[in-house]
Structure formats: structure tokens, C-alpha cells
A and B are shown apart, each in its own frame.
Chain A
């Protein structure tokens, strides 16, 4: 075995790569369990791809056969029921893990310099995941599949000038139909592999700037420990706990996340009473409906997903890290989480009565928090400095200022040298 690896090593940086990126990779020793969710997301991606491929061996992407083929998988294919329920539960698990992963990043300020690119590759990954999930949901060809796709593809009609043609082009037909189903299947199969590529970029960025940590402050080198065995074993432990929870849903409550209406075959002539997207889209759906104007709603929904990208610039505080040393930011974070849950609830219910103004207030609050951050963060910084910062935080700010000063000096030196 050693000889074989030696042979490879003389031609390919196998051992040095594994040593540098995995075995000896320096990781802050104080990472909490909130840092498990990145690798968990990677595992869920693998689960979805594997279960998806095996489902694709039996699924028929034809409007006349799709629903039947899913029942065929559930009833006739050996362990088909298991693979199907793993895939549907996996979609929920994916979003749950990703939302917690994002929450960790927001809370601890891991989106801030020098990790902006990590945050933005993550933003791209979120969009790719949402697209994949949306297209995947059409495939069972149930009532909710069909009408959810009909409603959301309709939204593209709000694009000025091109809107109507765009919708028809997307669908391949005037309404969601067989053409739509076939292309969504093709793309649903493809995009996860684009996600794999984007994950690799995300990881390259990570290995360039290294993980942040719960204190938000750059630790000294001596406070890093090798990734293996400390975090390999911690990730494996976390994975087992996750799989146990995941398995509970797969084996004992698999239909919790499947809308009952989706067990009714799609009927283009009959719209269900309440069209509800999957839970992970609910907050954004609520924002869409909160704005009375259709185009306005679409724009608001788009911004509500994309606005996360602006975080590194909205947050102007010089206090490093996230909520740990910043009480005002911490309050904003908790308010934001509660607000998203309210939006999710509003999105799940029909838009009537008190829910309408509630949704609108929650939407205003959502964007308001982001708008408040530039000013709030600066005010908070002033107040914290006056109160006096902990030593490590002071030291960190000093060192960042010094680094900036050094860079400026070097630039000036180079300019002078050229003259």
C-alpha cells in the first residue's frame, strides 16, 4: 500500500495535498458544534445525489406517467419507498442544515472580511439549491407540484417587455405541461453537479482564509489544532446524531413534509384551495404576497433572497466577529430569526384577515433590519468603544489598523520607487 502511494506521490501531490488540506489543516480549537453544519450540508448533498440517481432509474419524466412511476417506485421497486422517502426528507434536511449554517455565519460574523467570497459563493450555492428544489418538486406531478410551478413560472411574466414570452419559453408551452416536466427533470439532474463544482470553489475559498471561530477574533497560531483527528471525529459524531434525527423522519414521519394535495395527480383544470410551497420557501413566499403590486412583490422577493450578499458592506462596525461582543447586533439577529418564523407562518396560511397586515409588517421589519444595520453598527461601535472593549478585541482592531497602514505604506513606497 505504502509503495503504491509512493508511486502516486512521485507523480501527483496526493499525500501532500491530504496532509495540507485535511490531516494537518489548522483549525481553531474553540469551534463549537455550530461549525458542524458545513460538512453536514456536504453529506446531505451526497445523499441527495445518490438517492436521486437511483430514483432516476425508475422515474418517468412524462406527464402521463410521472405520478404512476412514483407510485411504482413506492410499491414495486425493491426499497423504492426507502430511496424516495430519503430523497424527499433529504430536501428538507438540506434546507434545515443550510439555514442553520447561514445563521451561524450571520451570528458570528463569518461573512466579514476576509471571508466575503465565502459568503458570496455560499449565496450562489443557496440560489442553485433553491432552483434545484423548485424543479424537483414538479417531478412527482401532483396537484401541488403542478400549481406551485404554474404560479412561480407566472412570476416571470412581470419582467417588462419580455415577460410573457419569457414565461412561455421557460415552460416550453403556454401552461406548465409535459414539456416543462421533461426539461425540469433534465435540469434537476444537472444542477446538483454544478452545486458540487460551486462547493469546491467554496472550499478553496475556505482553505485560503481558514475558518472563523466563535469569538470572531483571529486566534494566534498556537490556538489552531490539526483538523484530523480532532474535527474528523467531531464531524463524524455530529453526522451520526444528524443521521439519527434524519432517520426518525424517514422511517416514522416521512409524509410530514409532503403536502397531502400532492398525492392527488395534477389536474390542469382544477386549482387546489390553498397553494402552498414547501416550508423552506414560505418566508420568501410571504414577502412576495405582502406587496400588493405583482412586479413589486417579485422584486421584493428577489431582493429578500439576494440581500444577504450585501452583509459584508451593510455591517460597518470595526468590532471584529459577530454577536459575541456586540449586544445590539445580537438583538437584531434574534429579532430577524423571529421575523423569519412569522413570515414563514404567514406564507403557509391563506392571505386573509389579520395575516395580511402582519405579513406586511414582518416584511418591512425584514428589510428594515438590513437597512438599520449600516447605522446601527456604527452607533454600536461608538458606544462599545466608549464603554471599553475587552483586551483581545482591542488588540485585534489595533492589528487590523496596523495591517491597513502597512499596506498603504508599501503602496506609497512602490510609487516613490518608480519615480
Chain B
């Protein structure tokens, strides 16, 4: 009886999840893997710094943080010039100018990769979904009526090579944004190996001590 109930239980659960997944019908997220290798992060950082930073702040990232993704001291000094290393990455445009142009202040990108479901895929898909709706009018298939311009020029690419180049740039800047949203991710995963490994071993040890302790019950 109990076995049957439990089976019913589990079966029900599976069916339910199947129903759930079939229901939603939105624009599909690109099935892209965003790595975190240093080269990609450096390129992505420079794309943000030169391109995105025209409109978007990243107030939780400072020049000094670039050292964490492979920039050496000279490169950081060159970038910041007279500004202190502790200066935050704020956009080069003023709030009023930007709001006049686009009707809103563009969101800060520091935690954007965590602020959307499947953040990295979201960002990448958004950047590579621009298309030319009509003569000189662009729009975004993933985010219709988006206010952000087609900064990479994806909608006006002439051939596959150009498309690929932009897709790689999008991957790089997404990788950088992913790092920026969670700069301690690498450290976290490494520490996790040791902690879980330790707990696994300790569980095993406690298991055998427990068996030994409980075996005394039957000898009475």
C-alpha cells in the first residue's frame, strides 16, 4: 500500500513538471555557454569600458577590480589616468542627457547577469536579436520596442563573418558582466570542493562510528 502510494506520488510529480514546461511560449533564449576565461573577460571589460559605459553605470566595479581579471598595474594606470584606482565605473553621459534621448536612465549593469532569469543567456540573446524592421528602423526580436540602440550593429551585418564577430563580442561582454555580478564565483566553487569533500568524508566516518556504537545494542 505504502509502495503504491509513493509511486503514485512520484509519477504525479513528473507529469506535472512536463505540463509546466510545455505551457510557456516566449522568444527562446540562445543556448550559449558563457565561459569565464581571462582573455574573454579582458576583452569584455574593454567592450564595456569603451562602448556600454557611454550610457550604463557599473557602480560596484572600480578600476582596482580589473586586477582580478588579468589587467596588470600598468594597464589599469593607463586606463584611469588621473582618477584614483578606487573610482567607480560610472557612465560618461549625464542622467539628464540620457533621459532626454531615451526616456529613461539605462540600468546599472553591475548585477544584471543575476537580475534576470538565466541572466547570461538573456544578455547574449538581447545583444544578438536586433534586426532591421524597416528602412533604418531597428528593433529587437527578444525585447520588442527596446529603447537601447543596436550598439554592435547586429541588424546591419552584411555576412556571416560579421555576424560571428559580433556574436563573439557579445559573448565576451556577457562573460565580463557575469564576472562583475559575482566576482567571488571562482573562489566560491573552489572552496566548495573542499567543504563538500570534507563533509562527505566526515559523514562516512560518523556513519561507521554510528554502526559500531549501535552494534552494542544487540550484544546485551
- Do the two shown chains form a genuine complex with each other? yes
Q: Which residues of A contact B (CB under 8 A)?
A: 29, 68, 71, 74-75, 81-82, 85, 225, 229-230, 233-234, 236-237, 240-241, 243-244, 247-248, 250-252, 254-255, 258, 260-261, 263-264, 327, 330-331, 334, 337-338, 341-342, 345
Given A260-B117, A263-B111: A244 and B200 interface contact (C-beta under 8 Å):
yes
Q: Which residues of B contact A (CB under 8 A)?
A: 1-2, 5, 8-9, 12-13, 16, 20, 60, 107, 110-111, 114-117, 119, 181-184, 188-189, 191-192, 195-196, 199-200, 202-203, 206-207, 209-210, 213-214, 217
A392 to chain B, nearest CB (A): 19
In the assembled complex, the Cα of A18 lies from the Cα of B168 at a distance in Å of 66
B13 contacts A247, CB within 8 Å? no
In the assembled complex, the Cα of A82 lies from the Cα of B192 at a distance in Å of 10
- Which residues from B are CB-within-8-Å of A337? 9
B93 to chain A, nearest CB (A): 20
A334 contacts B213, CB within 8 Å? no
In the assembled complex, the Cα of A68 lies from the Cα of B119 at a distance in Å of 20
- Which residues from B are CB-within-8-Å of A255? 114
In the assembled complex, the Cα of A234 lies from the Cα of B203 at a distance in Å of 11
Given A244-B199, A260-B116, A338-B12: A252 and B206 interface contact (C-beta under 8 Å):
no
B213 contacts A263, CB within 8 Å? no
**Pairs across A and B, CB under 8 Å, 16 listed:** A71-B110, A81-B188, A85-B188, A230-B217, A233-B210, A234-B214, A240-B199, A240-B203, A244-B199, A247-B192, A248-B192, A252-B192, A258-B114, A261-B115, A263-B181, A331-B5
- Which residues from A are CB-within-8-Å of B111? 71, 263
B85 to chain A, nearest CB (A): 14
A380 to chain B, nearest CB (A): 14
Given A260-B116, A260-B119: A82 and B188 interface contact (C-beta under 8 Å):
yes
A236 contacts B188, CB within 8 Å? no
Please give me the residue from chain A that is nearest to B202 by CB atom.
A240
Given A71-B111, A330-B2, A331-B5: A247 and B195 interface contact (C-beta under 8 Å):
yes
In the assembled complex, the Cα of A258 lies from the Cα of B114 at a distance in Å of 9
B9 contacts A334, CB within 8 Å? yes
In the assembled complex, the Cα of A345 lies from the Cα of B16 at a distance in Å of 9
In the assembled complex, the Cα of A251 lies from the Cα of B184 at a distance in Å of 11
In the assembled complex, the Cα of A263 lies from the Cα of B2 at a distance in Å of 44
A255 to chain B, nearest CB (A): 6
When the two chains form the complex, which single residue of B110, B183, B209, B217 contacts A225, counting CB atoms closer than 8 Å? B217
A338 to chain B, nearest CB (A): 6
- Which residues from A are CB-within-8-Å of B13? 341
Please give me the residue from chain A that is nearest to B111 by CB atom.
A263
* Known contacts A74-B182, A230-B213, A263-B114; 5 further A-B pairs (Cβ under 8 A): A236-B206, A247-B192, A248-B192, A260-B115, A260-B117
A237 contacts B117, CB within 8 Å? no
In the assembled complex, the Cα of A85 lies from the Cα of B189 at a distance in Å of 13
A330 contacts B1, CB within 8 Å? yes
Given A240-B203, A244-B196, A330-B5: A75 and B117 interface contact (C-beta under 8 Å):
no
Given A74-B184, A327-B1, A331-B5: A244 and B203 interface contact (C-beta under 8 Å):
yes
Given A251-B195, A260-B119: A240 and B20 interface contact (C-beta under 8 Å):
no
In the assembled complex, the Cα of A337 lies from the Cα of B195 at a distance in Å of 33
B201 to chain A, nearest CB (A): 9
In the assembled complex, the Cα of A241 lies from the Cα of B202 at a distance in Å of 9
